[in-house]
A and B are shown apart, each in its own frame.
Chain A
Amino acid sequence: MSLWQGKIRRIDDYRWEIPVDYKNGMKVPGLVYADNRMLDVAREEQSLEQVANVAFLPGIVGRSMAMPDIHLGYGFPIGGVAATRVRDGVVSPGGVGYDINCGVRLLRSTLEEEEVRPKIKELIDDLFRNIPSGIGSEGKIKITVKEIDEVLSQGAGWAVHHGYGSQDDLDVTEENGCMKTADPDKVSERAKKRGAPQLGTLGSGNHFLEVQVVREIYDEKAAKVMGITHVGQVLVLIHTGSRGLGYQICDDSLRTMADSVHRYGIVLPDRQLACAPVESEEGKDYLAAMACAANYAWANRLCITHWARESFVRILGKKLDMISLQQVYDVAHNIAKIEDHLVEGKNEKLCVHRKGATRAFPAGKKGVPERYQDIGQPVLIPGDMGRCSFIALGTERAMEETFGSTCHGAGRVLSRGAARRELRGRDIAAGLAARGIYIKAESMGSLAEEASNAYKDISDVVRITNEAGISRRVAMAEPIGVIKG
């Protein structure tokens, strides 16, 4: 693939600017968080061009940004952040993506590695049986297309009402697990048909559930507030989203907005960036439908949490209150949110698109759970299945620079085809086993596509966001068991 030859200038060790005059039509400059080495990796594909393309969106403010986990997306780069003015800017469904509210949920336990490791195979096998996964997988929850409206409007609260969690879980979920702007009437029957049988399923691709062990703590005080107290403590990380419901809502909206682009005379370099004014009927309808998918995803992750708790209780032979498995936090990393931010010193209502980026609000900010008001919002950054994951916190600097956003994961460096050619699922499972990681996957082929070598080293990504000051590292954990779709 050809090297990206566009204009980019170094601001400092971790910041690079694509000047606004790079491409005719850019309304703001681009800003990429990367070190020298990562920028070179990004140049090998066209993701930096995508950063420049996003800068075309009407009403975009600040800069079109990319986090260090940037990689080639469709329309937006993955790792992209773009904020548009609500009063005269647009919302772009491609800036959220198909898997609306794909996100991560972290549970902490009172269990030690020594207690879990001898039973890891049994535990992972039980989790694999208990949590439906894989392509087109159907859940154990039987809801009709009619009942799904309740999930869409109530979000994780629906799961709590149906015995899949408690208020404690909602208290530490972004938006408390429910965006009130959701309107199920704005969701197509087709989307509901896809979503109804899939509630409570992990799905496929890069979605997973990991049993992890804390390996390092960088900030003991903040970690303690999150209930992470020592090295060797067992955690559970769940990564999934809104399944077919979200894919269909995105597809439906893109089709509508292909027309909106003509109607509002919007000029874009890529059709996938299709958009409509935030305050237009199309814009409002999309945000109301997107909120439904976000709510579905929060309910989905809570149902999976419930079954994970069940499996731990069954295999460890201890009551739930003995092992805790309380939720630390749950973040969305594919979402658009209406938020208040300072733009050139003035308060402005913005539509912040986070496409493979995580909200990173600082201490004291509205929207951060009561429990975390003194430390800031927890940021959960999963690595790939062979490497570690990080827990971080939002910062003031993120508010000033990135509209309160940071990275979301490792970011791919190897294409799926190349990963498949170079790596074989079975060898990967054996390699992981040799390193003490037991994995159970629905598809060995997709396992190869998700192997460590296909991703940037998460430690590098987190080092850059840490050094750049847009989130602050608190702890690191490594997997000992994984289930994948």
Chain B
Amino acid sequence: MAGRFEVISHTADIGIVVYGSCLDELMTSAAEGMIDLITDRSRIGSSIVKRIELEAGDGEILLVKWLNELLFLFEVERLLFTSFDITIVGGNRMMAKCCGEEFDPTRHHIKREIKAATYHNLNIVKESGGYSARIIFDI
């Protein structure tokens, strides 16, 4: 099953349901889904490669930590990413190779600001076909 995501309705904020055949893919879908909420991901080039290593107490915390790391890099280093190569070790440690480029307001139309990925009702669900998770963002 290919990684994918769907936007879900939430009154004040916005959320996505993400899917993946494995945790690596789930993390990729989540990142792609979130970036798509911010801007048109297909318009982001891949001239910059950044490696990120993260560790957390469990999968859910790792997922939120990962997404908030990408938001941090956007705000502080003005980097937008379009593709990800992720390896998860032991369910709570990840190594990610992120390809993207510097934010250019003339080319990257920003749809909305995401303040943070939240833990609200967050649960990584293991199903027969793989994994899914529902993530609510603070807008």
Contact = CB atoms under 8 A, between A and B. Distances in A.
A350 B7 CA distance: 39
A105 B111 CA distance: 27
B9 A417 contact: yes
B28 to A, nearest CB: 21
B119 to A, nearest CB: 4
Nearest to B139: A205
Contact of B112 (A45, A99, A445): A445
B85 interface: no
Interface in B88-122: 103, 110-113, 115-116, 118-122
Contact of B122 (A73, A99, A203, A271): A271
Interface in A399-440: 412-418
Interface stretch (A215-223, A248-256, A473-481): A248-256
B11 A414 contact: yes
Interface in A223-280: 244, 247-248, 250-251, 254-255, 258-259, 270-272, 274
Contacts of B120: 73-75, 270-272
Given A193-B76, A194-B72, A272-B119, A204 B113 contact: yes
Interface residues of B, number: 36
A322 interface: no
B10 interface: yes
A219 to B, nearest CB: 32
Contact of A446 (B56, B71, B111): B111
Contacts of B122: 271-272
B61 A415 contact: no
A416 B76 contact: no
Contacts of B51: none
B2 interface: no
A485 B115 CA distance: 14
Given A136-B75, A136-B103, A75 B118 contact: yes
A130 B96 CA distance: 40
A459 to B, nearest CB: 20
B57 interface: yes
B111 A443 contact: yes
Contacts of B113: 135-136, 203-205, 446, 485
Given A271-B122, A417-B7, A255 B12 contact: no
B113 to A, nearest CB: 4
A79 B137 CA distance: 18
A259 B75 contact: no
B131 interface: no
Contact of A74 (B13, B68, B103): B13
A98 B115 contact: yes
B111 A415 contact: no
Interface string B1-43: 0000001011111100000000000000000000000100000
Given A97-B138, A258-B61, A446-B111, 13 more contacts: A72-B11, A73-B12, A73-B13, A74-B138, A98-B115, A135-B112, A135-B113, A204-B113, A248-B72, A251-B116, A271-B121, A272-B120, A416-B14
Interface of B: 7, 9-14, 38, 56-57, 60-61, 64-65, 68, 71-72, 74-76, 78, 103, 110-113, 115-116, 118-122, 136, 138-139
